[in-house]
Structure 1
Amino acid sequence: MAADQTVHGIPPSLSASVTGSFAYLTVRDRMPTILTKVIDTIHRNKNKFFEEHGEEGISAEKQAISLLSKLRNELQTDKPILELMDGLPDAESWNQYLQRQQRQQGDQEPVSWFKSPWLYVECYMYRRLQEAIWLNPPINNFDFFNEGKTEGFFESQQAVMTLCTYLGDIQKSMQTLSENQLSQYFNKLLQVSLWGNKCDLSISAGQKNSQDSSPIDSLNSLQSFILVDDSNAVWLTLNSSRRLEGSGKTTADRVDIVLDNAGFELVTDLVLADFLVSSGLARQIHFHGKCFPWFVSDVTANDFQWTIRQTMAANHKWMCKSGFQWQSYLKEGVWCYHDHPFWTQPHEFCDMAADAPELYAALQGADLVLFKGDLNYRKLTGDRDWAHTVDFSTALRGFEPAPLCSLRTLKANVQVGLQPGQAEKLASQDPSWMTNGKYAVIQFHGPKLPQ
């Protein structure tokens, strides 16, 4: 297969069950398993729907389950991909993307679940989940993934408290920190945000996946598992702004974070963002989340606000203090939360300039964009069968709205930017290295700055 050829169907390398700390399922099983859990969650909330909406709620529950059961049959039996019928603002874009897939495949047979790019059908399933719930008011705002995201947050409380305490200790001595000390703290919190990405419920198919150890104490033992570490380039990009501040130009006026998972990972992102602002490395943080429930544990606007409220309400000095600080950042406009339909579409990011020019233009206003997680990495690289030694910049295929960095733990069969022989050595030592979440990368693309 050519390096730039999209992987179609279910990749052979993912067809067998892989093991690891995330209780991985086979790719064939994961989507039906997630669908079954959604159906079960909706059914278990039947009494709640009745209490809130009466018989209308019960009827909506039955209709939603019927649509989801039909969807499960479609994906298990390789039925054709259907156009969306819910009339939501993004439906036309999705249907145009389906037509694009059909043109690429030709007219011999319809686009179907087993004969389409894996990235496309996986995203499509989550969009169909949204359609099934949206078509059935009054329960059409129900987040069927909320229980798992909430549990993930509360099960990680000790780690959250440890992290907020660590941040508080840094901030108490912020004015006296040397450049070297500031750099060291930045690298630690960047790595905490990186490894927070382990907590991904879409990969574990919704199974328990929380952080129950100290995120700071574990960093040294995890260092050798970072396959590409461009953290110094990220630091230079941010720190160059502070050197130029006296000239009236601050290049790190704004850092954007394209979020991945709710729960503990979101807290690691908020802590990193707080550090960037309180240290003067950035003046403003723009967060980008999802418009609706997506990939089981991805952050929505409700998750974002809920997490900050829960942190504010915590019976812990530093956790509570962090929550109030974060709320203050939002009120003052130092932090901003955005969502855009493009993040919940199947497009590769190299399509953004053409398919979502307003979003691309918005990202151009950032001085650094951090992309969290595996799905964002797949979209950055097109989820293609690249040689592992291909440069990250090549795999981006022209997507460069601003200097960018991917913080990702490996859970899918795509990885670029490795040294010659590195992938082969990993494969001999750990055959599931690309999918078991054990390894990670901090990969940067942007102008090279002097040391």
Structure 2
Amino acid sequence: MEIVIDSETPPNEKLCAKYKKSFAYPTVTERLPVIVTSIIDTLVRDKNELSDECRTESKSVIGELSELKYMLQTAKPIVSFTSSEPDTEQWNKHVERYQNQVNEELTFYNGPWLFVECYLYRRIREIFILSESLKEYDPFGDKKETVLTNSLPVMEPVFEHLLQDNILDTSPLKTTDLIQEFSKLIKLCLWANRVDLSMSSGNTDNCCNQLNIDEWDKYILSDDTEKVLNIIFSPSSPTKGEKIVDYVLDNSGLELLSDLCLADFLVTRCGVDRVRLRVKRIPWFVSDVTTIDLEHTLKVFSESQSQQCRTLGTRWREYIDKGIWTVTGDVYWTLGLSYDEMQEADPGLYSELEKAALIIFKGDLNYRKLIQDTAWAPGTSLSTALGRFHPGPLVAIRTLKADTVAGIESELYNATSSKSPDWLISGQYGLIQFDSYVQ
């Protein structure tokens, strides 16, 4: 029987669902079972749209998903993977490692929250990849499509401004205007991160509202935009050659559209030679961007009734075709490890990141992985929380949706806690945090 402790996660401990007053606990007991149920409901709803083979096989897939939900709800042991996916061996090593650490059967309750939540999505992938006819099925595809459709009207004023006011071309722009436009875009990317389907358990209702970015400045607890500007507008180092920005994406839909606007601005106005868009290799945390999602977004733009969308779709397709933007789905992003372990676990990826002038990390999960999903004591610096992960200058852009944070002064931390007790998990507050420490 699982022992659940009626307390918050102790300071400087890894987040874990065994602590009943942590956000990990309701995630495992409530949110994750709802997400699995929603996949089952989607398969049942859409069965008549599937081929005969897929429809027949969907019955066994639904049975396995039901078993996964049961495993979640009854704290059954986590099991290894058997597929021939490129990450299977790594995942099984990590399952064994955490099994040894807990010194008992590893479950969703006693394993680190970061690991077990990632495990759930990898387990969902395993169920589909082991089928014959549903290997390429995206169980979250319909939800991402809804968010994309609902995002277009919200972004229309942004597209209009960028194109009609010549922000995305090489015509002269005052330095003050350049800084102002960059600042507006980075805030747009921040607040678009509020639309996260893993947080709403896949519910797409009211997921795309008007982005009142200028009205939400009071909710930005740390804003290092000026430090980012200093890096991005500085000349590229002769030793590094071309100026590269690595952009580690988070959600599709509204957030992806905002990110692509910023990526366009980087190559158009900031002297960036190449933006490497880092996406997820498999369907992940409901709404995370995969290569297929990005390609579908560009297709939607190319076929849009809106001239602005078609114009941007053409620009963005050309960036990819010319190699100005590259799109890669590295395995590491869909492992259950923090980035503190990257240099040892994936030295090739770490070495690539070292070549970037700036690394942009979007969203809550990337942030959790950056700071090791730990309940850091108030006042802990971001550099300390990053542990061994210091490949180069980086900025984390995140709305707070998990009870872990670093780089916030104790006084501000305590004041915000008093004013908004759920500030760490509500998604109301945001961070634009920069770190330049290099090992």
Query: What is the TM-score of this pair, normalised by structure 2?
Result: 0.93
- Indicate conservation of the 8 Å contact 2:278/2:329, yes or no: yes
Q: How does 1:155-234 map to 2 (within 5 A)?
A: 155-168=150-163, 169-171=165-167, 174-208=170-204, 209-213=206-210, 215=211, 218-234=212-228
**How many residues in Structure 1 have an aligned counterpart in Structure 2?**
428
Specify the alignment match of 2:353 in structure 1: 363
Report the Cα offset of residue 403 of structure 1.
Answer: 0.8
| Structure 2 equivalent of residue 446 of structure 1 | 436
Alignment of 1:313 with 2:303, yes or no, is yes
- 1:103 maps to what in 2? 100
Task: Please state whether the residue corresponding to 1:256 is helix, strand or coil.
Answer: strand
What residue identity is the alignment partner of 2:22? L
1:57 matched residue in structure 2: 54
Query: In the aligned structure 2, how far is the partner of 1:440 from the partner of 1:98?
Result: 33
Aligned with 2:221: secondary structure? strand
State which of 365, 368, 371 in structure 2 corresponds to 1:375: 365
Contact conserved, 1:342 with 1:356, CA < 8 A, in 2? yes
1:128 equivalent in structure 2:
123
The Cα offsets for residues 164-223 of structure 1, whole Å up to 9 and x where unpaired, read as 11211243674221222111111110110111101100000011253332x4xx222111
CA–CA distance in structure 2, aligned partners of residues 187 and 274 of structure 1: 14
- 1 CA distance for matches of 2:168 and 2:400? 35
Partners in 2 of 1:160 and 1:15 — Cα distance?
Answer: 31
> Secondary structure, in 3 states, of the residue corresponding to 1:441?
strand
* CA shift in 2, pair 1:187/1:251, >3 Å: farther
- Residue 88 of structure 1: SS of its match in structure 2? coil
Whether the 8 Å contact between 1:381 and 1:396 is mirrored in structure 2 is yes
Aligned partner letter, 1:131: E
Secondary structure at the counterpart of residue 175 of structure 1: coil
- 1:160·1:319 contact (CA, 8 Å) conserved in 2? no
DSSP 3-state at the match of 2:234? helix
Q: What residue in structure 2 maps to residue 5 of structure 1?
A: 13
Work out whether residues 12 and 377 of structure 2, in 8 Å CA contact, stay in contact via their aligned partners in 1: no
State the 1:398 CA deviation. 1.7
Alpha-carbon distance in structure 1 between the residues aligned to 2:264 and 2:207: 22
Residue in 2 that maps onto 1:83: 80
Does residue 112 in structure 1 map to residue 107 in structure 2?
yes
Which residue of 1 is the match for residue 427 of structure 2? 437
For residues 344 and 173 of structure 1, do their structure 2 counterparts lie closer, same or farther at Cα, with a shift above 3 Å needed? closer
Q: Is the 8 A contact 2:15 2:24 kept in 1?
A: no
Contact 2:220–2:431, Cα closer than 8 Å, also in 1 = yes
Among 130, 138, 142, which residue is 2:137 paired with?
142
CA RMSD of aligned residues (A): 1.9
- TM-score of the superposed pair, with normalisation by structure 1: 0.91
Cα distance in 2, alignment partners of residues 447 and 9 from structure 1: 32
Tell me, yes or no, if the aligned pair for 2:169 and 2:268 is still in contact at 8 Å: no
1:363-408 Cα shifts (integer Å, max 9, x gaps): 1121101000000000001110101310000000020112111000
Local SS of the residue matching 2:326 = strand
Cα separation, 2, equivalents of 1:447 and 1:26: 33
Which of the residues 324, 337, 349 maps onto 1:347?
337
Q: Equivalents in 1 of 2:168, 2:85: separation in Å?
A: 48
2:310 is equivalent to residue 295 of structure 1: no
CA–CA distance in 2 between the matches of 1:342 and 1:15?
24
Q: Is the contact between residue 15 and residue 28 of structure 1 (CA under 8 Å) also seen in structure 2?
A: no
In the alignment, which of 392, 407, 411 is matched to residue 382 of structure 2? 392
Report the Cα offset of residue 102 of structure 1.
1.7
Percent of matched pairs sharing the same residue: 35
Contact 1:167 1:275 in 2 (8 A): no
1:35 alignment partner AA: V
The CA deviation at 1:361 is 1.2
Residue 281 of structure 1, CA deviation = 3.2
Point out where structure 1 has 5 or more consecutive residues left out of the alignment: 18-24
Cα distance in 1 between the residues matched to 2:199 and 2:162 = 29
Give per-residue Cα distances to partners, 1:81-113, cap 9 Å, x unaligned: 10012221211111100111022122xx21112
How far, CA to CA, are the matches of 1:286 and 1:241 in structure 2?
19
- Deviation larger for 329-338 or 279-288: 279-288
Distance 2:320 2:336 in 1: 30
Give unpaired runs (5+ residues) of structure 2: 1-8
Deviations 1:398-441 (A, max 9, x none): 20112111000000000111122111111111111000000000
1:4–1:427 CA distance, 2 compared to 1 (3 A): closer
